Amino acid sequence: MEVKKRIGYLPENPPLYNDLRVIEYLDFVSKIKEIPGNRRKQAINEAIEKAGLGEVRRQVIGSLSKGYRQRVGLAQALLSDPEILILDEPTVGLDPRQIIEIRELIKNLGGEHTVILSTHILPEVEQTCGRVVIINQGEVVAEDTPANLTRRLRGTERTIIEVDGNETDLNAVLSGFPEIVSSTIEKLPENNHLQVSVELSQDIRKDIARALIERGFNLYELRKEAYSLEDIFLHLTTKEEVA
Amino acid sequence: MKKTLAIFQKELKHFFYSPIAYIVIAAFTVIAGIFFYLYLSSFVEAAFMAMIRAQQFHQPQPKFNVNLQVIRPYFWNLALISLFILPLVTMRLYSEEKRAGTVELLYTSPIQVWQLVLGKFLAGLVFYIIMLLPTVVFMALLFIYGNPEIGPVISGYIGLILLGAAFISGGLFISSMTENQIIAAVAGFGFSLFLWIIGWAANFSGPGLAGLLNYLSIINHFEDFAQGVIDTKHVFYYLLFVTLGVYFTMKSVDSVKWKA
């Protein structure tokens, strides 16, 4: 009971009563969340303001759009001014503008509350979270800040080079660089270009570029493959499956 | 208690914000009204015929009793209509929360199970009492144009409310086990009907079993109330029934809570 008072929870489907008005719903929630009578009105108004519900406060919940329903759910979770706010997939089913608004809102809430955000949308995590826990089949496989998780994968970071020309010449150029740890060459079917994926011990991209151009190759692409959380997620969870 | 009240208010709002309340009340009033009209008109007709016959043959006028011939069968009828209508009242009481996912809100709120269940039960009971109000008007007509005894009317209503409370607690229990309103309604109706007719089986069974079946039958206990007798034995039966119904609902709600 004590714990429940300190938690605000927004399930995946916001728990709303479609036939109540927004304000009646929040009033009901405030009663069962034990918000004392003298603070109730203020708490409701604050939650409405934080969630941006001012214009629909007198509307019946059933008539609201998905985005507003999500906000009502969020207002409900915020109502008791909880220390911990648990949000389960808060942006599912929203249009892009609503998603941005909700994420902005969550980011702002981070200042006052501890927000636990559960989601499958990894860019969302990159944008909003300070700490990531990846859980695969009930086990924690990684727990760190997004930046650290990315850094952890740097060891196997690869550089992609796309050129045209012939494979033997290309191999000759590449073998001139001791910094290249390993490389795989692949012919792209759509334009007969060669795509090389190399692992570098140091960042010598500018030297590779110059060498290739001096040998008469046309350089189309030279990029460092940046790992997103999605790659990290795949990496961690597939490793787990293999083991 | 405050939170029980909050649940209670919310449930009453649900009833009256959705069309179901008005449909149920209208249906109940119309059916009850038709039966009232039929009983009363046949009573008046019989009384009138008897009066004319008495005048023709210069006999003393026979006594006709409104309580016995209108009010008593009328209460039986109200009880029967309640049996049909109340599952429609209780069907959504809990199952709707499950279907809409609002149970998650209730489970993560600092509210105790008994507050939740009691609030919902009371809301159902109060709705039932509101549903009975139009029939008071019919009774009032009898008092305006005749002079029935008031005692059996009061005891009849007490009996109806106790019977209704029993149906509601049973229906609430069934509603707490499913997230489908139709299943809740049909199962609630079947459950109530089963308890109603279980007394009939007593006619075909041995003395020991017959006593038990007669005791279990929900309608046998109503008989005395309709006749104007308030027997604590029967009051106790209904209160026990309600207590068990509410208790099992709490257990059912609790078990789901741990499963989830």
**What is the rounded average pLDDT for all residues in chain A?**
81
Distance CA B179, CA B172 (A): 12
With CA atoms as reference, the chain B residue closest to A9 would be B108
Smallest Cα–Cα separation from A87: which of A146, A8, A32? A8
Q: What is the mean pLDDT of residues A213-233?
A: 77
Query: Tokens in use for B182?
Result: 């139709």
Q: Check whether A241 has a pLDDT greater than 70.
A: no
**Amino acid A243: pLDDT:** 38
Share of chain A above pLDDT 90, in %: 8
Q: Check whether A177 has a pLDDT greater than 70.
A: yes
CB–CB of A29 and B18 under 8 A?
no
Tokens 């207590």 belong to which residue? Answer: B243
**Amino acid B228: pLDDT:** 85
With CA atoms as reference, the chain A residue closest to B17 would be A19
- In the beta sheet, which residues pair with residue A197? A160, A184
Pair B173, B249: CB distance under 8 Å? yes
Q: A44-92 pLDDT, tens per residue?
A: 998 888 888 888 888 999 998 888 888 899 889 888 888 888 888 888 7
Q: Check whether A240 has a pLDDT greater than 50.
A: no
Between B207 and A230, where is the model more confident? Answer: B207
CB–CB of A33 and B14 under 8 A?
no
Contact residues, chain B, for A13 at CB < 8 Å: 101
**What is the number of structural domains in chain B?**
1
**Amino acid A21: pLDDT:** 92
| Residues belonging to chain B with any Cβ–Cβ distance to chain A shorter than 8 Å | 2-3, 5-7, 9-10, 13-14, 17-18, 100-106, 108-112
CB–CB of A15 and B6 under 8 A?
no
- Disruptive mutation site among B7, B10, B11, B22 for chain A (greatest number of A CBs within 10 Å): B10
Domain extent, residue B131, equals 2-259
Q: Check whether A238 has a pLDDT greater than 70.
A: no
Q: Check whether B104 has a pLDDT greater than 60.
A: yes
Between B125 and A77, where is the model more confident? Answer: B125
- Which residues of A, range 70-109, sit inside 8 Å of B by Cβ? 76
Domains and CATH numbers, chain A: 2-129 (3.40.50.300), 155-226 (3.30.70.260)
Note the helical H segments in A118-202: 122-128, 146-152, 167-175
Q: Is A9 on the interface with B (CB under 8 A)?
A: yes
**Amino acid B128: pLDDT:** 95
φ, ψ for residue A129 (rounded to 5)?
A: -100, 150
Q: A103-135 pLDDT, tens per residue?
A: 888 888 877 888 888 887 777 777 778 888 888
Write down the pTM of the prediction.
0.80
Distance CA B201, CA A151 (A): 78
Query: Tokens in use for B54?
Result: 């008495």
**Amino acid A233: pLDDT:** 72
CB–CB of A15 and B18 under 8 A?
no
Distance CA B132, CA B135 (A): 6
